[in-house]
Amino acid sequence: MKWGLLALASALLIYPFILTGPFYWDVGVTFLLAAISASAWNIVGGYAGQVSVGHSMFFGIGAYVPLLFYQLWGWPPVAGVPAGIVVSLLLAVAIGLPTFRLQGHYFSMATIAIAELIRIFVGTWDLVGAAIGLQGPAVGRAWWDLTFRSELPYYYIFLAVLGVVLYTTYELARSRFGYYLRAIKAGERAARSLGVPVRQTKLKALMLSATFTSVAGSLYAIKTGFIDPESGFGILVSVQMVIIAALGGAGTLLGPLVGALILVPLQTATNTFFGGGGSGLTYILYGGMIVLLARFEPGGMHELWDRIAPRLPRRSHAA
């Protein structure tokens, strides 16, 4: 396992030098962003088992606030990242506090309703650009505007953030908090009877997830230099996070990574082949995939691997 991780990390580190050029670098950046978002979702959706289908609300906030700071006061977008996190945290508490004392469906319904509410509202609010959205600095004034011409710097920044998210998740999963999360997912009533503070634990998980998702949104906005209600708060942003994590294996450390590894190239390929019109097809595909996953393999690739691996031919050790 450790060797595999080392190999993976190395591969990610040298990828831009193996597949060079703007196209491959862009795919790499898209992959990393998808992995970060999905890993963020994974904390509350995978580990804690609280299924958010409106996570785009945190992504969108993380994307809008930095660009708003630039638009209003000319600050470098990066300065707005902490503020984005704060707003996301407040929203997380506002949603989690009432719903985590109720059965799970309420939380899921609330996430989708609030995400929609925000999306519609932002689309009418002139301060944040209404339907048109916000833009970042077209040309960087200094290095801290982070407007790079090449994808390469973004790739390594995103990679570093992914590293932080994964490391945090890893440490968390091994800790008391992590065990409590898994217990809640596996049997909430039993968890309660063992003294697990269910509501608080779920809330903390949501807050952590919201933080990372917000950062992902900020990264997106800084890189593309643009955000609008659909790209920030749209349902497809939420769907993508969920399907990537679920496909790879929700509740596992590397599940989101695996999911992104499969879906991002797939999506790039269909976009290239079918062009813009293909996007309709992509979402039919997503919907179908999610249904199939839910029906046949809710544990994703990770569970599939667990089932198949023992049956694969093994090298026998010398007696």
Partner 1 sequence: MLLSAEKISKAFGGFLAVRGADLAVDEGEIIGLIGPNGAGKSTFFNCLAGDMTPSTGRVLLDGTDVTRASAEAHAQAGVGRTFQVPITFEDMTILENVMVGAFLRHHHRRDAREHALHIIELTGLTTQASQRARSLGTPGRKRLEIARVLATGPRLMLLDEALAGLTPAELQEAIALVRRIHELGVTLVIVEHIMEVILTLAQRVLVFNQGHVIAHGKPDEIVRNEVVIEAYLGRGHRRRRAAP
Partner 2 sequence: MLLLQVIVGGLLLGAIYALFSSGLTLIWGMMNVINFAHGEFVMLGMYVALLVVVWIGGGPETFGFAAAFALFALGVCVYLSLIRHVMRGPMLAQILSTFGLALLLRYTAFWIFSANFVSLPQTSFSGTLNVAGILLPVPQLVAGVVAAALTIALHLLLTRTTLGSQLLAVAEDRSASMLMGIRPDRMQAIAWGLAGASAGIAGALMAMSYPWSPSVGETFGLTAFVVVTLGGFGSVPGAMYAGLIIGLVQALSAYWLGPIYKDIIVYALFAALLWLRPQGLMGKA
Query: Residues in the site for partner 1, rule: CB under 8 A?
Result: 174-176, 179-180, 182-183, 186-187, 189-198
CA distance 5 to 124: 46
| DSSP letter string, 163-178 | HHHHHHHHHHHHSHHH
- Tokens 């199939």 map to which residue? 292
Measured from the CB atom, the residue of 13 and 97 that comes closer to partner 1 is 97
Take residue 190 and report the two structure tokens written for it: 């039993």
Contact yes or no for 102/220 (Cβ under 8 A): no
Q: At what angle do helices 300-308 and 235-248 cross, to 10 degrees?
A: 10
CB of 303 to partner 1, least distance (A): 9
Measured from the CB atom, the residue of 156 and 179 that comes closer to partner 1 is 179
CB of 124 to partner 2, least distance (A): 5
Q: How many CB atoms lie within 10 A of CB 148?
A: 15
Q: Of partner 1, partner 2, none, which one sits near residue 179, judging by CB under 5 to 8 A according to partner kind? A: partner 1
Q: At what angle do helices 235-248 and 56-73 cross, to 10 degrees?
A: 130
Contact yes or no for 81/64 (Cβ under 8 A): no
Measured from the CB atom, the residue of 227 and 253 that comes closer to partner 1 is 253
Q: Of partner 2, partner 1, none, which one sits near residue 265, judging by CB under 5 to 8 A according to partner kind? A: none
CB of 97 to partner 1, least distance (A): 16
Q: Of partner 1, partner 2, none, which one sits near residue 294, judging by CB under 5 to 8 A according to partner kind? A: partner 2
CB of 31 to partner 2, least distance (A): 22
Measured from the CB atom, the residue of 141 and 307 that comes closer to partner 1 is 307
Q: Of partner 1, partner 2, none, which one sits near residue 183, judging by CB under 5 to 8 A according to partner kind? A: partner 1
Distances (CA, A) of 313 to 3, 301, 310: 21, 19, 8
Find, among 286, 308, 310, 312, the residue nearest to 299 by Cα.
308
Q: Of partner 2, partner 1, none, which one sits near residue 189, judging by CB under 5 to 8 A according to partner kind? A: partner 1
CB of 193 to partner 1, least distance (A): 5
- Tokens 């249904």 map to which residue? 291
Taken in order 11, 12, 17, 23, is the CA torsion positive or negative?
Answer: positive
CB of 5 to partner 1, least distance (A): 20
Q: Of partner 2, partner 1, none, which one sits near residue 33, judging by CB under 5 to 8 A according to partner kind? A: none
Q: Which residues bind partner 2 (CB under 8 A)?
A: 45-46, 49, 51, 53, 94-95, 97-99, 102-106, 108-110, 112-114, 116-117, 120-121, 124, 185, 235, 239, 242, 246, 250, 280-281, 283-284, 286-295, 298
CA distance 67 to 121: 17
CA distance 160 to 172: 18
Take residue 108 and report the two structure tokens written for it: 């899921």
Measured from the CB atom, the residue of 7 and 109 that comes closer to partner 2 is 109
Measured from the CB atom, the residue of 179 and 305 that comes closer to partner 1 is 179
CB of 283 to partner 2, least distance (A): 4
